[in-house]
Structure 1
Amino acid sequence: MDSASFIEKRRFIVKLGKMLHKFGTPAYRLEVHLLNVAEFLGIGAAFAITPTVLTFVIWQPGEENEYTHVARVMPGELDLGSLSRTDEIVDAVANGDMTLEQATARLNEIAVMPNPYSRIFTFLAYGAAGGAFAMLMKASWHDVFWAALISLLVYLFVLWAAKSRRVTNMLEPLVAMVSAFAATAIAAYLDPTIQVPIVVLSAIIVFIPGLALTLGLAELAARHLVSGTARIMDAVMILFKLYFGAYLGLALGQLCFGEAVYQPVPSVPAWSAWLAIATLCGSLVIVFRARKKHALWGIASGFIAFAASMFGGVYLGLALGAFVGAFAVGVYGNIFTRLMNAPASIVSLQGMIVLVPGSKTYIGLNSFISGEQMAPVDQLGQQTFLIFMSLVAGFIFANVALPPKKSL
């Protein structure tokens, strides 16, 4: 292998690794995928991936010289559409349909590709996600309406953060504070029938790091100790920032508007849970920038997760019901990979979000600090821990039952 060919291959691998990390690929999947690509290209490689540092060590077989590349990066955000397009480039290179030079140029194009969904659609998706989660929490229709409305307000701060680094650094506590302040004002002057804590939680549900906590535990289970620990600690800090912002917003709201007297109203009917799943997963298609051809697959993943977990919960209990749901989603994702030749995570992530107890973690944090429960849940801490572990075990068992075709 000549020097020019080796340089081209290592540049491609480094670029590919940075791109996949940017799109939110977990460390244990990213390292395996990069090793597979390096093996196909006929070069030796070793990788150490964490949420904030990427280390590449690449060498030519039979030669002593090694190329080391260390990059300081920020934790990636989920972009399922770009992940799918990047995976297609790797397949094209493997099939001989694209040269490395063409592949690198295509990766550069994907890196600057704009959001395929307009701001209006994303704006509506945030509102739909907040309202849908309030339905899943079995709140009232009043709560659903106001949660959706405040979620729209939250998105305006997300747009502001995209233009201001100062706002980006304080986005989580800021949106939680504004949501709590707005909910307190609504309860005091417009609608005393709303449950303020539930409305606040639903409005900021997009920021609740339940998925990050689950991925962190999955990385620990795969023996990626540094990356898993870092991801879990980052998620815990986000939870603390969200809770502090909500606590401050409620305190300021009560100071300005007084304490509203809650007037109970009937909760949403049981059938609304299915409407909530469809709405939530549909909004996640837009929030995660999934491609339109994968949208229905992702929405179906949410229904499979919810139905399987409910069925398992009837016979095995809530925690093991999550295991059944995760197992079903894992098998479904691997079937999707075989049929569509795309990464399983494109559809399995939406099912996982339906299952993850990120909201229960937030509720538990509230109970621990204030001594008050936002929602009546028995043995909350134990249930949350068991659900997390059941999710990890469910996906591991699914990969054994039906091995994935792709490493992503």
Structure 2
Amino acid sequence: MWFAQRGRANGMWWQTKAEPPRWGAVHGPELPDDRTVNVVLDLALRVGDVQMASGAGAADVTATIMAVTSAYGLPHCEVDVIFTSITVACHRGTEMSPVTSLRVVRSRSLDYTRLAHLETLVRDITAGRVALKDAHTELDRIVNADHPYPRWVATLAWAGMAAAVTILIGGQWDMAGWAALITAVVDRVGRILNRRALPFFFQQLAGGLLATGGALALLSSGMLPSVRPTVLVGAAITVLLSGLSVVATVQDAISGYNVTAAGRAMEVSLMTAGLIAGVVLALNISVALGFPYQPLADPLPQTALRLPVQALAGAAAAGCFALASYATPKALFIASAAGGLGAAGFGALALGGAGAITASAGAAVAVGFAGGLIARRLRMPPLVIAVSGMVPLLPGLTTYRALYELAIAKTTAGIPTLMTAAAIALALAAGVVLGEFLAQPVRTGLSRLERKIAGPRMSGPLRPTRRRLE
């Protein structure tokens, strides 16, 4: 039996009876009806879908969905992200049944302008500036909008990235031009194969085959005897590796989203295996046809005079990657600065005697720290800066050396070299995530939601509120 009041007057104890309070009266405001819950969950799931498709980590997607649902009056929600699907369950106390919605993530593409606009929308939602209906309308506009740049601009950007990476790893200007041409052809062929809905494994295989075969064909033609295939293929492999979600994979593993991390790791491994198969197939075909080939070129010694060139080449490679990924104009400059910082940091550490893995990790930490600190102040996703900044340091040349040793030299020395390439990629991704984590205390402090969602944040709001606007 419930008692609303109990007291003492004139020496007598008295009490009055009352009805049990409603759930909302004890735990907060009245919850909306089923229709409103479904509309809010649909909006949150679509937001998470766009984030997941853009390469955001599971922790970022979870935090963003919880921020959106909380802003529209659904504070008691549970989110489950398992790489290919997102599930949200809304609990409404003991008297009303919960509502659960599921959305499958079917497409994955890099469009950092779309991600930036989505982040602006989520920021407005959590600040209470956008009504629920208007949020749906704005999200439709973001999702259905065309890319900000024509497709041929992306092709030129990929070509420019290959040219910049060629200079970064010690190639000459004529090599950079041929690397750009080969990469442009690979991109256009990949575009055609993608329209035919060919699985990405075979697209990576075709890319590795064309990149290696094109470099070997240039060598066998005799037109450019100074061109050595090592640098050309290394630059092309770096471009093909840049599209893999290595950062998100490591971020999910560190944040405790093991199922999503396992799914991403399987995808990255499969795409890398396709690339390796294409390179090895091209090398074997060249041997069968009797094409001449030259031994692997030794990497140029690290000197202080090369640091400015490396910084400029790294900045150009990162900026071209951001452009190819349809980043906003403001993000292009910040991404270029991050790429220059990463390349210069790697060169400086290598000059100081650090190994490739240690130098890669140190440079990646600097990129992640700077990206996490600056990107938030400029209101752009740190994911754009982090991924773009580490792209020039991907182990394309090391990967090709390993495959050459295995397929041509027929030596087991290629196995540790291949493991070194994998370790460099892991060090880059882990360093970026660690840098973002270290940047958190430097900002204005961790929010309540960040303490609840463990791990660094690469996308989504930092300070979600629970203001409701209908």
Q: TM-score range by the shorter chain?
A: 0.7 to 0.9
1:152 Cα deviation (Å)? Answer: 1.3
- Once residues 289 and 237 of structure 1 are traced to their aligned partners in structure 2, the CA distance between those partners, rounded to angstroms, is 25
- State which of 117, 121, 129 in structure 2 corresponds to 1:97: 129
> Is residue 212–residue 231 contact of structure 1 (8 Å, CA) maintained in 2?
yes
Structure 1 window deviating more from structure 2 (380-389 vs 77-86): it is 380-389
SS of the equivalent of 1:28 reads helix
2:351 is equivalent to residue 320 of structure 1: no
2:361 is equivalent to residue 330 of structure 1: no
Listed as ranges, the matches of 1:270-289 within 5 Å are: 270=306, 271-289=308-326
1:276 Cα deviation (Å)? Answer: 1.7
> Is residue 373–residue 439 contact of structure 2 (8 Å, CA) maintained in 1?
no
Aligned residues: 407
SS of the equivalent of 1:170 reads helix
2:204 is equivalent to residue 166 of structure 1: no
List per-residue Cα deviations over 1:245-277 (Å, max 9, x = no partner). Answer: 122223334444632457989979835323321
CA distance 1:19–1:172, shift in 2 (3 Å): same
- State which of 345, 360, 383 in structure 1 corresponds to 2:383: 345
Residue 254 (structure 2) aligns with: 221
- Once residues 386 and 249 of structure 1 are traced to their aligned partners in structure 2, the CA distance between those partners, rounded to angstroms, is 25
> Is residue 184–residue 254 contact of structure 1 (8 Å, CA) maintained in 2?
no
2:164 is equivalent to residue 132 of structure 1: yes
Residue 308 (structure 1) aligns with: 345
- Once residues 63 and 180 of structure 1 are traced to their aligned partners in structure 2, the CA distance between those partners, rounded to angstroms, is 65
2:35 is equivalent to residue 2 of structure 1: no
2:391 is equivalent to residue 360 of structure 1: no
- Once residues 401 and 379 of structure 1 are traced to their aligned partners in structure 2, the CA distance between those partners, rounded to angstroms, is 33
Residue 201 (structure 1) aligns with: 234
- Once residues 73 and 141 of structure 1 are traced to their aligned partners in structure 2, the CA distance between those partners, rounded to angstroms, is 42
1:13 Cα deviation (Å)? Answer: 0.7
CA distance 1:306–1:64, shift in 2 (3 Å): farther
1:114 Cα deviation (Å)? Answer: 1.3
SS of the equivalent of 2:198 reads helix
- Once residues 63 and 361 of structure 1 are traced to their aligned partners in structure 2, the CA distance between those partners, rounded to angstroms, is 59
Higher RCO structure, 1 or 2 (CA under 8 Å, sep 6+)? 2
2:181 is equivalent to residue 149 of structure 1: yes
CA distance 1:64–1:314, shift in 2 (3 Å): farther
Residue 246 (structure 1) aligns with: 279
- Once residues 72 and 406 of structure 2 are traced to their aligned partners in structure 1, the CA distance between those partners, rounded to angstroms, is 53
> Is residue 250–residue 429 contact of structure 2 (8 Å, CA) maintained in 1?
no
Paired amino acid for 1:248? L
Paired amino acid for 1:33? T
Normalising by the residue count of structure 2, what TM-score does the alignment of the two structures yield? 0.76
- Give aligned-pair identity as a percent: 19
Q: Where in structure 1 are there 5+ consecutive unaligned residues?
A: none
Residue 60 (structure 2) aligns with: 29
- Once residues 289 and 406 of structure 2 are traced to their aligned partners in structure 1, the CA distance between those partners, rounded to angstroms, is 26
List per-residue Cα deviations over 1:360-403 (Å, max 9, x = no partner). Answer: 35544554565569x99996635752662465155335424534
Listed as ranges, the matches of 1:38-187 within 5 Å are: 38-43=69-74, 44-61=76-93, 63-74=95-106, 76-166=108-198, 170-187=202-219
List per-residue Cα deviations over 1:123-175 (Å, max 9, x = no partner). Answer: 21121111112222213334322211101111211331342113756211112
- Once residues 228 and 264 of structure 1 are traced to their aligned partners in structure 2, the CA distance between those partners, rounded to angstroms, is 36
Structure 1 window deviating more from structure 2 (71-80 vs 283-292): it is 71-80
Higher-Rg structure is 2
> Is residue 333–residue 348 contact of structure 1 (8 Å, CA) maintained in 2?
yes
Residue 423 (structure 2) aligns with: 385
Residue 9 (structure 2) aligns with: none
Structure 1 window deviating more from structure 2 (274-283 vs 262-271): it is 262-271
CA distance 1:376–1:191, shift in 2 (3 Å): farther
2:325 is equivalent to residue 295 of structure 1: no
1:59 Cα deviation (Å)? Answer: 3.1
Q: Where in structure 2 are there 5+ consecutive unaligned residues?
A: 1-30, 445-449, 451-456, 460-470
1:323 Cα deviation (Å)? Answer: 3.2
CA distance 1:106–1:141, shift in 2 (3 Å): same
1:296 Cα deviation (Å)? Answer: 0.8
Residue 46 (structure 2) aligns with: 15
CA distance 1:169–1:236, shift in 2 (3 Å): closer
CA distance 1:114–1:158, shift in 2 (3 Å): farther
Paired amino acid for 1:115? H
CA distance 1:357–1:180, shift in 2 (3 Å): closer
Structure 1 window deviating more from structure 2 (216-225 vs 395-404): it is 395-404
1:356 Cα deviation (Å)? Answer: 4.0
CA distance 1:358–1:402, shift in 2 (3 Å): farther
Normalising by the residue count of structure 1, what TM-score does the alignment of the two structures yield? 0.87
> Is residue 364–residue 390 contact of structure 2 (8 Å, CA) maintained in 1?
yes
> Is residue 45–residue 88 contact of structure 2 (8 Å, CA) maintained in 1?
yes
- Once residues 350 and 425 of structure 2 are traced to their aligned partners in structure 1, the CA distance between those partners, rounded to angstroms, is 11
1:281 Cα deviation (Å)? Answer: 1.6
